[in-house]
Structure formats: structure tokens, C-alpha cells
Amino acid sequence: MDKTRVAIVGLGTVGTGVARLLLDHGDRTARHAGRTLWLEAIVDRDTRRQRDVDLPAGLLTDDLSRITGNPAIQVVAELIGGLEPARTIVLELLRSGKDVVTANKALLAEHGAELFDTARALGRSIAFEASVAGGIPIIANISQCLSANQVLSLRGILNGTSNFIVTKMEEGMDYAAAVSTAQRMGFAEADPSMDVDGTDAVQKLAILAHLAFGARVHWRDIPRQGINTLHLADMRFACELGYRIKLLAVAELTQGVLELHVAPTLVRMGTPLAEVREAYNAISVIGDAVGPVFFHGLGAGQMPTASAVVADMIDTAVGRTGITFRTLELWSRREARVGIRDHADLKGRFYLRFTVEDHPGVMAQIAGVLGRHAVSIASIIQHEPDPASDGSLVPLVIMTHMTTEGATHQAMQELDRLPCVMPPSVRMRVLDRSES
């Protein structure tokens, strides 16, 4: 049987999973590739650490030239993560004639144009299925299987760590314990603040928006909020109102203009996105021909991510990636472009929580400010004061009717200046039907 020689740079959580699939299940990859994917070298800066895989002697090295200097190696998986030296290494790999597979969304969101232009100029390819939603084949679906469609809407839970933390907090675990459990289980980024502040989700959204809509938007320009500011009180109120809080990434096309944002959102219980638990990811896509399609699966973790990386290595070895890469012209100047909607104009319902003084006239003042900004109240929750507290401050929760980001933002700024309101107040978007 023919051999395609492959290599890995970065033997961490994902790299170890990829090595295990290539070494322990070579028969499987050979059956699908029609050739053996022969693991020729693994580069990691630490060659001594014990890993959860049996490596043949001499395979692991800290010397990148064992790959770049070996013309027999055709396909290399970059799995070190981060921007540098990952960018330089990927450029070196391309220049030494390798096709690259990567799981590194941070790298693509920041340097996609440069890397893709370089690969195109050199006649090489870059495959990146694992960079968004781990084991879910969303890149292939958007760029190939749904290519007869204009995607109209994309709503996703794209960060497994955040979803895991939110799920555990709903079950009673405190925030810090949930973060360290996610780290221990291998879901979190090397710097977990990228997971919890929404950076990782927004980088993935930028990649999807690029593929689905030709949106050449820098991830830093997409409005972003993470789960690191979430309070247990909001999770309890959301539950009381019939919602779960999810870190939702949204890209939606209306009248030719794209809405983009990542934010903790109250999602109606019983709808598919609300029921996504633990480190699972999900993406609800609406195409103009296919209608609604829902993808669900493990979006982080060693083997789900390795599954996507090895599939890309097989596709690259058999030549499928090269064809798609050439025809799609991703991140190129020839792509169609789309305008981005001003964040203030985004429509929606909102959840507002205030900490207010409990005395006559407070409700009237708050309703007055909301009314002046044309924000209409749909429902209000104010419970009896906690008997354990002195009762002077109480939480007040308001659900609005349809309004805009701009109107609620301005109303909240004014409300937080009222003497009867203890800032900062909380404002979150509400999603009543995740599939429409």
C-alpha cells in the first residue's frame, strides 16, 4: 500500500490524540485514505514529559528541521497553539513544501489572510476543520455540503470550556472549581482567560462568518462578552423565567447586512441550543435552500479534536483538501464582501437586573427611564427581601419586549446614575426560538 508521510508539531492534549489515532488505528486511516498515513516525526519543545501514547523510539524530537528538511514528509499538523511561534512555523512548513493542518483558530483569526495567501502562492493547502467546534464537521459543512445555499443565520455555542463552566455552575459548582476542572479535562486553552472572556468563541465566529458570508471582519471588531462576569443570581433568575444562560455566537444576515456578536444570552429552555450541556458545542444554521440544520457534538477535548485533525490529514493526503482550497479561495481579495450592522441597531429582547433601594417610587423611576428610551417592559420580578439581609437593597429583574442594543444600553447608563440604583446593572440578550 502507498504511504503518505505525515508529522505533528506540538505533542500536547490534541497532538497526543492525533498520534494515538495514527499509531493505534493505522488500519482505519488506511482504509479511508487508500494509503498508509505514516507518522514520520513529532516535534515538541519538551521531549522528556510522559505522554498518554506509546511512541516508537526516535519519533519525538525538538528539532523542527527533522520535518522541514525531510522532503518525504507531505502533511504536517500544527498543534502548538497561540500566535508565535505558530505563525512562523506554519510559514516555514509551507515554504518547505508541506501541506498544513491546524486546529489553531487564534492563528487563523489573526493571520488567516497572510497564511492562506502564502499557501496559495506556493501551491500548498491549509485545512482547519478542528479550529471551530472541535469534533463537529462545521467547516466542511459550510464550505462544501451547504455550498448551494446562502447561509442566512448561524447561532452557536462555540466554546466548550464556557459551556462546561455554565453547566457546572447550574449544578451548584462554584466558578473557580469549574474553571480548574475544565483545565484538568483538557478543554481549556493554555490561557483559559481566552475561553471565559469570549475571545476563543469570537475567533471561531470570525472564521465561520468569513466562510459563510465572506465577512472580512477582524475578531477584535466583533462585540464580545464572556461568561467571566456572570453571576449565580442571573442563572437563578434565568431558570425562574424558563431560560438557560449560554455563551452564544451569532452571525445573521438581514437585508444584506450582517449582525455579529458573542454574548451570554438567555436561551428559552426546551429549544435545542438551551439543552446543550457540558463541553458540547452546537451550531444552528439556516440556509435559504436547506432550511434549518442543527449540529451537535463535543467541541473540545483530546479525541474529538484529534478526530477532526486526522480527517483533515486524510483529506489532504488524498488530495481533497487541495481541490477545495484552490476553488474556495478563502481569505482572498476575490471573495464577495458583506456589510456589518452597527451593534447599536441590533434588535432583540433583553433581560435587565438592577440592585435597587427598596422604597416607594423606585419602580416608577426605573419604568420612567425605560419608557423615555422606548424600552417596553414585558415582565418584572421582585421578590420579598431576604430575611437574612437588612432589606434595604433588593434585586429587580425586568424582561423587555423587542427593542435595540442601543436603546437598552443608553437606558442602562442613565439608570445606573440614579441614586436608587446600585451599579453595575446587568443586561443580557434573550433568545426565544433558537432555530428561527
Give catalytic residues, as residue numbers.
204
C-alpha to C-alpha distances, 259 to 210, 221, 395, nearest whole angstrom: 13, 12, 31
Instruction: Give the whole-angstrom CA distance, residue 121 versus residue 382.
Output: 62
| 190 forms part of the interface with ligand NDP (CB under 6 A) | yes
C-alpha to C-alpha distances, 322 to 72, 214, 220, 328, nearest whole angstrom: 18, 20, 30, 10
Report the site for ligand NDP in 313-332 (rule: CB under 6 A). Answer: none
Cα of first residue to Cα of last residue in the chain, in angstroms, is 49
Beta strand 151-157 with 243-254: parallel, antiparallel or unpaired?
antiparallel
Strand-pairing partners, residue 259, are: 252
Virtual torsion, Cα 285, 291, 292, 293, nearest 10 deg: -70
Report the site for ligand NDP in 93-122 (rule: CB under 6 A). Answer: 103-104
- The DSSP string of 197-232 is TSHHHHHHHHHHHHHHH-----GGGS-B--STT--H
| 134 forms part of the interface with ligand HSE (CB under 6 A) | yes
Residue 287 Cβ, how far from ligand NDP at the closest point, in Å? 25
Q: How large is the C-alpha radius of gyration of the chain?
A: 24
Binding segment (CB under 6 A) for ligand HSE, from list 68-76, 136-144, 158-166, 206-214: 158-166
Instruction: Give the whole-angstrom CA distance, residue 198 versus residue 229.
Output: 11
Work out which of 159, 265, 302, 403 binds ligand HSE, going by CB under 6 A. 159
| 160 forms part of the interface with ligand HSE (CB under 6 A) | yes
Which H/E stretch holds residue 253?
A: strand 243-254
Residue 79 vs 263, nearer CB to ligand NDP = 79
Residue 187 Cβ, how far from ligand NDP at the closest point, in Å? 5
Half-sphere exposure of 38 (CA within 13 A, CB side): 11
Residue 104 vs 400, nearer CB to ligand NDP = 104
Q: Which residues contact 321 (CB under 8 A, 6 or more apart)?
A: 99, 125, 127, 312, 315
Judged by beta carbon distances under 5 to 8 A according to partner kind, the member of ligand HSE, ligand NDP, none in contact with residue 195 is ligand HSE
Work out which of 4, 305, 307, 321 binds ligand NDP, going by CB under 6 A. 305
Binding mask 4-33 toward ligand NDP (x if CB under 6 A, else -) reads: -----xxxxxxx------------------
Judged by beta carbon distances under 5 to 8 A according to partner kind, the member of ligand NDP, ligand HSE, none in contact with residue 159 is ligand HSE
Judged by beta carbon distances under 5 to 8 A according to partner kind, the member of ligand HSE, ligand NDP, none in contact with residue 44 is ligand NDP
Report the site for ligand HSE in 183-212 (rule: CB under 6 A). Answer: 187-189, 195, 200
Residue 264 vs 287, nearer CB to ligand HSE = 264
Residue 130 vs 426, nearer CB to ligand HSE = 130
Work out which of 187, 219, 331, 354 binds ligand NDP, going by CB under 6 A. 187
Alpha helix locations (H) across 52-140?
65-68, 86-95, 105-122, 138-140
The residues that touch ligand NDP, with contacts defined as CB under 6 A, are 9-15, 43-46, 79-81, 85, 103-104, 130, 134, 186-187, 189-190, 300-301, 305
Q: What is the binding site for ligand HSE (CB under 6 A)? A: 134, 159-161, 187-189, 195, 200, 299-300
